[in-house]
A = this chain, B = another copy of it.
Amino acid sequence: MTYNHPKFLVAVDCVIFGYEDSELKVLLRHRDFDPGKGGWSLPGGFVNEKESVEDAALRVLFETTGLKDIFLEQIYTFSEPNRDPGERVISVSFFALIKIQDHDTELVGKNGAHWIPISELPELIFDHKVMVDQALLALQTKAANEVIGRELLPDFFTFNQLVDLYYAIYKRPFDPSNFRKRVKSLNVIERLNFKDKANSRKGAFYYRFKEPEQIEPYSRMVFRLHNQR
């Protein structure tokens, strides 16, 4: 049997976060087609027959970065009838985390995509700014509930890199000493027996994330996002 109701174009838009040079960045596309020609947009695409929105998002991610097996999370569905001035499109937004150093820079360039620091966001078309804001909030929430970084940092990293990542995500300072204590207590990373000597004479040990199966559940960071009053 079939239903008799209106049908809609369905698209996905991806807020792809990366971390580089102590900055949180988003992958944006410069639009060379209408609608929104000349403006900036999130990488996105239409959903195909026999494809879930998650699969469509993974396809878009592969097309723009050349990477598979990417962290991906659905965020919200935007459906205002006039949100796309061209034609009605219902769009599902996602956020993704990738290690910038791993991606295919050639592909990225070919697609007119660019890594833009979150602090220097240009005007975005349609409701894409809202998507970025929601994605950033989701990233902050994720970072509060677990030690983030597995999908953003290099495989080996120092505590300084980790705390700098948190600083970039939250735009607020963290006491390095207390941060270190907290992260260590959660038992999700392990120290390696070599150091980064580039930034100090003493050298800072490298760490890496443990394999997921070695990690106990409920290892939350739980610092207050809003620590006023």
Contacts and interface: CB of A to CB of B under 8 A. Distances in A.
B52 A3 contact: no
A207 interface: no
For this chain, the copies found in one complex come to 2
A86 B3 CA distance: 8
A61 B197 CA distance: 62
A3 B46 contact: yes
Interface string A72-87: 0010110111000011
Given A1-B34, A228-B218, A51 B81 contact: yes
A47 B52 CA distance: 19
Q: Select the residue from A51, A79, A88 with max chain B CB neighbours within 10 A.
A: A79
Contacts of A3: 9, 46, 86-87, 89
A224 to B, nearest CB: 8
Given A53-B90, A54-B79, A6 B74 contact: no
Contact of A53 (B46, B77, B216): B77
Top 10 closest pairs, chain A to chain B, by CB: A7-B7, A5-B46, A53-B79, A52-B79, A77-B77, A2-B87, A6-B49, A50-B81, A218-B226, A8-B10
6 contacts: A3-B87, A7-B7, A7-B9, A8-B47, A47-B79, A53-B79
